[in-house]
Homo-oligomer: A and B are copies of this chain.
Amino acid sequence: MASNKHEEIAQAAIRLFEKKGYHATSVQDIADEVGLQKGSLYHYISSKEDLLMQITHQAINGFNRNLEKIMNLQLPVREKFILAFESHLNSLTSNMSMAIVLLREAFSLGEHQHSVIQQATDQYLDLWCRILDEGLASGEFHHTNSRLTALSILGSLNWVYRWYDSNKRLSPNELAREFANIFLRGIERR
């Protein structure tokens, strides 16, 4: 019961942070959204920043866990690469508000908390570099600066939150394959 309330509060915060931004959302707004007095809300959360930390941490950890699973599959690198695009865009679009809070609002965290999120983000970048390096080692990909290529890919994928409309023609998987092909044509050895 308590854990349902925690989840309800997190979902309310995600909606409000996405719509108004973290700074423009007050603890009172969150209390109103879940039908609690502000004082009662503090039984569940320690601060607004704590909520932002919880949301962004959960979001980036989800991206990391999914990509780690893909890395461990016994598949040709090309297929892992495409799966990584699909996984990223499915996570992003299935909880777009949460992704927006991660990508747009995390800068508002205090220094220590922000560095924890930054570390998890760096870990995600490292996983993408590992896919590219694996493709180089297997002879499937030609030599590129894997860090810059990974940053280019992550830019393309993350930016999707700015323009993707789930009512439009492409599903997340279709979009993932289009994007993966743009980069695959650029990095595959022929």
Contact = CB atoms under 8 A, between A and B. Distances in A.
A183 interface: yes
Interface string A99-134: 000001001100000000000000000000000000
Interface stretch (A39-47, A57-65, A67-75, A142-150): A142-150
A160 B108 CA distance: 19
Interface residues of A, number: 33
A12 interface: no
Most buried by B among A156, A160, A162: A156
Contact of A186 (B104, B162, B163, B185): B185
Interface in A135-174: 144-145, 148-149, 151-160, 162-163
Given A144-B182, A178-B145, A182-B183, A108 B156 contact: no
Given A23-B24, A179-B148, A185-B187, A159 B163 contact: no
